[in-house]
Amino acid sequence: MADRTGSSPTVEPLEREIDVLRRALAMLRERLPRSWSSTVTEEAEISGHRVDALVEIASPDGRYAMFVAEVKRVLVTRDLIGMLEQVPTADHGDSGRPMRPLIIARYLSSSVQTWLTEHDVPYVDATGNMRISIDSPGLYLREVGAVRDPWRGPGRPRGTLSGPPAARVVRALLDFRPPMSMSDLIHRSGASTGAAYRVVEFLEQETLIERAPRGPIDIIHWRRLLLRWSKDYGFQRSNAIYRYLEPRGMPNLLDMLRNVESIRYAVTGSLAAHQWAPYADARLAMIHVDDPEQFAIATGLRPVDTGANVLLAVGEYNVALERAAIIGGIRLAAPSQTAADLLTGPGRSPAEAMALLDWMEKHEDQWRR
């Protein structure tokens, strides 16, 4: 089986749904408290409705909870609503026992797990990811299994938002209001046609965007999209970072920036977020640049190994410099880029990101085009 990183060299195929069910429920049984028990009835029937399995979890005092297991080998977020609608509820139970759905799959991505958690739907997969919450009898199980699908073959497209093409598409979806046709998205993002369609297909699967078949993108769940992007993009891990010291502090750096004209840059992080959602005085400057050496000369920064208060980011993510705005004589990265950088930044940056996201929700007309 796969380890916690999903990098096991050998995994059992689990080609049949029944094998997925048995493996997942075996892991569930292993994690039940001592003296608790479980009973499984495979291919059961509830009021004329065939279900994959009925699972009973019983406490030592004789109380129990009933689950209707719905099993899929492969499952993406957009399948969940329709899948749950097909699961019989307590009203279908001949015995009158209260029943809850139990979603089982070979592997459940982090996005699927998040959706199920937000909707309080129990789940377990064959790598050990699980969340079971029962009020009566009181039981809470939460376990982390593989973080990547160990059954995904090397020739299949990766289900991630990593890389410059994905960044371009995501930024365009964040910065522009829907509806948006695919041709509009390709033009606004600057991504290739193939890359744009691949990213859109993935985002549809994750229910981060919604569109009719062959139609424009009608709905963009931008906050969830930003949070999902931050799992694959990181300010420090996706860029080369150069560390500098501004010995006279942030006010002097801002004054110097007002005189920088010929060098491309975009201030992000706390310094940029302060313009829209002040959180606390910035102690660290995060700036996207084209040429760190020329930028450092123009602003009087000193290269250091330790004690840096300025981080200059250089990488393939040139989209970070796009749609920046000059405010108060300083070029600031777009709020969408700033939020992504803060979500993955050091120290208190993630908390500042949440404050900025709250501001963005209340003032969408001020930052989306």
Q: What are the pLDDT digits (tens) for 240-252?
A: 999 999 999 999 9
Kindly state whether residues 203 and 289 are assigned to the same domain: no
158 lies in some domain: no
Domain stops at, among 143, 174, 194: 143
pLDDT computed for residue 157 by the predictor = 47
Q: Is the pLDDT confidence value at 90 over 60?
A: no
Q: Is the pLDDT confidence value at 259 over 60?
A: yes
pLDDT computed for residue 11 by the predictor = 61
Q: Which range marks the domain in which residue 47 is found? A: 17-143
CATH code of 121's domain: 3.40.1350
Q: Where are the beta strands (DSSP E) in the chain?
A: 37-46, 49-58, 64-72, 99-105, 123-125, 130-134, 139-143, 209-211, 217-220, 240-245, 265-268, 285-289, 302-303, 310-314, 325-327, 330-332
Q: Is 260 exposed, middle or buried (0-12, 13-18, 19+ CB in 10 A)?
A: middle
**Alpha carbon separation from 362 to 15, 277, 286, 297 (Å, rounded):** 47, 11, 25, 39
Q: Is the pLDDT confidence value at 88 over 90?
A: no
> Minimum mean pLDDT among 59-63, 88-92, 205-209: which range?
88-92
More confident residue, 154 or 346: 346
251 lies in some domain: yes
- Confidence class of residue 35 from pLDDT cuts 50, 70 and 90? very high
**Location of structure tokens 């799992």:** 231
Supply the mean pLDDT for the chain: 89
Q: Nearest CA to 31 among 135, 122, 147, 148?
A: 122
Kindly state whether residues 35 and 73 are assigned to the same domain: yes
pTM of the model: 0.69
